Structure 1
């Protein structure tokens, strides 16, 4: 079941949409249960896509326009293809939505594509074009790689590298208290990002392990990744200050960014935010914080209380001879 992915990046400017940074994905899934309920020579498929926003990945689009044809669809012939009815109302950006198409003739190759329009009539470009030729996908995605876990206060933040399959639907995260123990799935809904925060880390143990799997639109699940371990003991014995990746990253101008740090205790230290020109934007005193994992919340403002502009910033932890940093990006 071939599926393709393209990036459709849009933002309103002067009455039109121009490329920006939003992935609009159209996936195709065979629906065998419905096919069995219809005549032997017809069947149905389910189209699935990730909703765009009204402005880039913000807000909610107004209407979908899904087209079907027995010939390849392009921007030039999109309007000539058959318009499909019964489409869902657009939901907020990033939401997975579906539409079922019935009455297809077995053996006939079909092509599908989608456009969206905002509340003032600005149309997106055409999505990727999906070709359906009755070949059912049974191959699972590749095993996720690069799995890591960091402590954030009482929580654990799991991250991994993105899979590249065009029909990728999302990820599942599993947890165990020993490396070879029984792993329990933590998320009921598929994760579309490449990170997950575990808000229910078990207490009383010495370590916790995490593995990640990938699933495609047909429901095929990959093998579990290599385990990533988080130690739950010995934190007070560490004398090393530490700063971990900030989140959300990119963040929004006017919003907050969380910067996890490990406070060693027993000395003065500060967290300092600088801009791309290395000018100091904000300072936080860490010396009064209790030892152990803490989170500094930067509110996106400078020391004068004014919101900073979009751009690339650096958060530094400075304690004695320790100087470590992470990059923080703020977007409009």
Structure 2
């Protein structure tokens, strides 16, 4: 009786009421004598598939067999074939239409399914007293796998996203991830929470995503979150916009119980508005309390689209793929001004060939992307194959790192199974062409005498350095007196014929100082008219003060008596340490003093090691410097010279006592000396006859200073 009462209800259109039958009690149905069930539907058929939906059609039967109008449909689906045995475990669909007159066409869009999944569908027809038809024919349909129009696993950087976050909590992180090894994280990387001492919020917004022309769209993403328990705070919302201004919340969750959770959101309502969407992840603490939890992670975001297609009629599609590893440069390290050939290998890992594939190369180094040449066309890329596109890139004025992007099918003329992998970017470093770089530090200007009297002629020396990677020729050097304005030239420009890369050149000029009564500011300008292209133009000029004598000056002295060697009697091959004591018998401390050791045995003299620097020598004091001298191959007398202040950078009371020489005698290394003399050759017998065997003896002498072994 109970079942008859429950089966005889009038079904309500509004299914929001939580009742057992979703119907209104009808006693007439209960009391009616009707034992004839509706006829079963025999032509249930899938009429179209989308990502999460299947459209089903069938023909209405009747209340009693094919007579009268039935009362309700009970449509169910399952991942396994449906039968009487498992009917109760199949999932009942909501929103079935009210039955129409027998023979009418019925349809229902079954929603909330999973993409690329096979389902079985069947239905039963109910009459007004609860009689049920037999199960209809069981049909099978597979939801569409769709086309990927946006995909980011967060491994390629932040370019697909924009962060609006005053506290800089949204950032790429490797603390947690769904797919190795990066995700977006809202929280402090070191503290692993989102506590800033105040309420905070931030958004992570995708670039524009095209969904134009689709019948269905789906957002898929993975999230991990740990938040305070109250869902009124620490809100994690997913929002969609079609204009970048107004946003609609489409999903909200609150914690994931220490697990990564896959979420799917239906985007179909947003397709027809503008044809583009943006996805935004919005975290908002609401207040400043209880913000010591870990926060929110987002990873593996996809947007899929699909067209309504008959089951089994899905058209096989190509899938064109651009990858950064498949972008190449020839030469690999180009030089500015030389042509650069950019190659791109485009893959097709789809199910069918792609023809007339357009490829556009772009320079995305700056804020505004610029095309590199016209679009290239690959006639055909077979399924599972690849094609090559190339373009020449002009490097003039583009030294440094350049980012070149390859966009395949930029106008989406070719339908593909994945539209999100059609572009890739790779950086190339364009080297500046070899150029000289002329430099003149103030320490490379010297005066002789270093501290003249007023009226003395002064020789000004300037050592110009070329620390570039190309030679410089016809280098003009102009000396200037910059004491007053405007500065005035000192003589004519000097010309250095050539300064090799890594080398230097010396110029000098004599400056008469008659009529001066104060110190002068001497300026040296290298390449004053910028006739020589250089890698750096800011180090071509310097100034140094020429100070005149005031009566008090240091005086640096180097004498032969103050040069010593250890060992005193070296043998060829020994390392000899040369010591030099520099005296200052002047009235002031000179400050930094340079000392150069030289082998002056031949001309020109050869430096022995780098220049030594003494920080200072007080008046009446001294300082010791040393250098190591290798005597290998240098047997005999060697002239060792020590020169103090070789460039006359120190103004002294006397400049003539700054160098001295000593003779270093290097004994030859011990060696044997083998000697063969005629008198030491003998025969036995002394007077042999023809046919005799003669023994020849020779005595070898060693008149050297070392033993000789294994003498042949």
Same fold, judged at TM 0.5 (above): no
Which of structures 1 and 2 has the larger relative contact order (alpha carbons within 8 angstroms, sep 6+)?
A: 1
Larger Rg: 2
Instruction: Give TM-score, length-normalised by structure 2.
Output: 0.15
